[in-house]
Homo-oligomer: A and B are copies of this chain.
Amino acid sequence: METMKEQQTANDGLTTEEKILAAAGKVFTRKGMAGARMQDIANEAGINKALLHYYFRSKEKLFDAIFEKTFQQFVPLMHLEFDSTDDFRQMLRNMVRLYVMMVKKSPYLPSFLLNEMHQNPDKIQHLLLKMNVSEFPKRLQIRFSEAGITGDPRQLLLTLISGVIFPFAAKPLLMPLFFGNNEKIFDRFIEDRSVFLEDLMLRMLVNREEDDINLDSDNSNFNNNAL
């Protein structure tokens, strides 16, 4: 029998703190900060409510921990992913696949993040400073320039990300409107959408250079991204 110093592992192999974080993540992402109840989180974690305040001082502190963790799970993906692959097209493909996978696993995430971002825009400022993403727009521009893309890379990136995330964020509407409340049909649609979006990206990249339709080539306002 070994002695455990820092944290003792509970019955199911999880620290109490870990159990709290898992439960809080579940409840907060579903109900949001305002809709979540501390008692619900305690029940979900199978512990006493006072323990929540013992580990995290207040509801807001606990929420902040969850929000930060969830936020970082989302945003820096592009951050990391943009350096990993040499082939530009393959990189875009990977991004689509990665985001589809992520959102598929936890469908509440997008609307949770979007909503809480609006509720506390100040916290985002702070989070973006902690993760060092201030260089991201510059790197994004360089990456696109090297690939010979002339247009505003933000337009393309936003189209890509929104294209993946939005169907999940709007699922409760799309489900009865387009998919007859059939989960399998929805899943198949998402499968098709991955291909659709990859193809969409390729079309844009290929055509953009040789085409006469000019989209504000001198995008002079791209450098104003101070923090």
A72 within 8 A of B: no
A155 within 8 A of B: yes
Scan A165-198; emit 1 where CB is below 8 A from any B CB, else 0. 1110111111111111110010011001101110
- State whether A115 touches B111 (Cβ < 8 A): yes
- State whether B32 touches A115 (Cβ < 8 A): yes
- State whether B34 touches A185 (Cβ < 8 A): no
Complex Cα distance, B119 from A33, in Å, reads 13
| Stretch of A19-27, A94-102, A156-164 that contacts chain B | A156-164
Nearest chain B CB to A57 CB, angstrom units: 21
A215 within 8 A of B: yes
A128 within 8 A of B: yes
Main secondary structure of the interface of A (DSSP, over half): helix
Chain B residues with CB under 8 Å of A178's CB are 137, 154, 225
Nearest chain B CB to A49 CB, angstrom units: 19
The residue on B at minimum CB distance from A154 is B178
A75 within 8 A of B: yes
- State whether A172 touches B124 (Cβ < 8 A): yes
Contact A119:B34 (CB < 8 A) given known A213-B199, A215-B199: no
- State whether B177 touches A133 (Cβ < 8 A): yes
Q: List 13 A-B contacts (CB under 8 A).
A: A75-B173, A114-B114, A121-B172, A125-B176, A137-B177, A151-B196, A166-B166, A176-B227, A189-B221, A196-B215, A199-B215, A203-B207, A203-B213
A31 within 8 A of B: yes
Contact A111:B118 (CB < 8 A) given known A34-B32, A199-B215: yes
Chain B residues with CB under 8 Å of A207's CB are 203, 207
Complex Cα distance, B109 from A114, in Å, reads 11
A216 within 8 A of B: yes
